[in-house]
Structure 1
Amino acid sequence: MLLFGHLGITLGIFFGLSIFIPRLRTIINPVYLAIGALLPDFIDKPIGEVIFASTFANGRIIGHTLLFSLLLLLVGLYMYEKKRDVRVLSLVSGSFFHLFEDQMLSNTPTFFWPLFGWSFPRDTKDFTGFEHLFEMLKESFNLGFLQNYFAEILGLVVVIILAVYWLKKRSEENDTDDINESLD
């Protein structure tokens, strides 16, 4: 999954659940949830596929491990206990969603790292570094490639729906504020 898949599906699940569990809106910050949904890729893709591509040749390394998410959870629990700050817990929630959306449970050597050894599995791509970025750009115009990214399209639709909803709600709030100011 890429940007919109992780972002849209995670936010869609959160806002869907918050309809049935309204308390979620008070204990999860959607901005940090969105950042957390992308965090494993923000960490691993540049390191594993560009900067140290010849070493790792894999975009799923440290950030895609259960250990990373558990350590982040401990930091989040500490921050919540000390300051009642939900931002890191929201980040962790997004990061956990990311791992399940990437189906990391089926990639046990990475998911349970370092239990199965200190090295990460190498990807089977023949290209690394910036070649990978150019290959993805080139393939993005291939219809077969696009069909494999249904989650990306679904995520983009969810992001657009949420953006329209947010803009409409914000416009209504501004109209209410204008009416209240004119009454004063």
Structure 2
Amino acid sequence: MLLFGHLGITLGIFIGLGIIIPRLKPAIDLRYLALGAILPDLIDKPIGKVIFESVFSNGRMIGHTLLFNCFLVLAGIYLYQKRKDTRALALASGSFFHILEDQVWGRPQAFLWPLLGWSFPKDNIDYTGLEYLIKMLESSFKPEFSQTFISEILGMGIIAIFAGSWIKKRLSKYSSE
């Protein structure tokens, strides 16, 4: 799954939860949730696929581990207990949904790191560095019915609905003043 899939689907799930459970809505900081939804890729893709590609050759490393996400949850719980601040919990929730959407448990050496060893599995791809980023961008817009393409279209649709609703609220707020 790529950028729009992670952002849109995660935001859509939590906005839906906010509608179903109204008490949850004020506790969800959508900015931190959105950041959390892409955080594992913001950490792992540049390090493992671009900067240190010759060492790691993997875009699912530290940020995609259960250990990293448990650390985020524990930090979120700590900050909530100390300051009643839910932002870190929103960040952790977004990151956790990211690894669920990526189905990282299918790569247990990365998901359960370091329990199964200190190294991460290497990807079997022929392109690296900047070429990897270009291929990722290209593959997100190829109109074929793949899981990646469908999740990207779904994510874009959710983001468009969310943005339209936000704009409509803003316009009605300014027109009533």
Band of TM-score, shorter chain = over 0.9
Q: Which runs of 5+ in 2 are unaligned?
A: none
Offset, 1:143: 3.8
Q: Please give the alpha-carbon distance, in whole angstroms, between the structure 2 residues aligned to 1:154 and 1:144.
A: 14
Offset, 1:144: 3.7
Q: Please give the alpha-carbon distance, in whole angstroms, between the structure 2 residues aligned to 1:141 and 1:11.
A: 21
Q: Indicate the larger mover: 93-102 or 23-32.
A: 23-32
Equivalent in the alignment of 2:174? 174
Name which one, 1 or 2, has greater alpha-carbon Rg.
1
Provide the alpha-carbon RMSD of the alignment.
1.7
Contact 1:4 1:155 in 2 (8 A): yes
TM-score (norm 2): 0.93
SS of 1:116 mapped into structure 2:
coil
Q: Please give the alpha-carbon distance, in whole angstroms, between the structure 2 residues aligned to 1:116 and 1:151.
A: 30
Q: Please give the alpha-carbon distance, in whole angstroms, between the structure 2 residues aligned to 1:94 and 1:23.
A: 19
Q: Please give the alpha-carbon distance, in whole angstroms, between the structure 1 residues aligned to 2:104 and 2:19.
A: 28
Equivalent in the alignment of 2:53? 53
Contact 2:140 2:152 in 1 (8 A): no
Q: In structure 1, give the amino acid aligned to 2:8.
A: G
Aligned length: 177
Equivalent in the alignment of 1:32? 32
TM-score (norm 1): 0.90
Give matches, 1:1-184, under 5 Å: 1-139=1-139, 142-144=142-144, 148-176=148-176, 178=177
- Deviation digits for residues 150-173 of structure 1 (CA, Å, limit 9, x no counterpart): 100110010000000011011112
Contact 1:139 1:145 in 2 (8 A): no
Residues 79 and 139 from structure 1, CA distance in 2 versus in 1: closer, same or farther, beyond 3 angstroms? closer
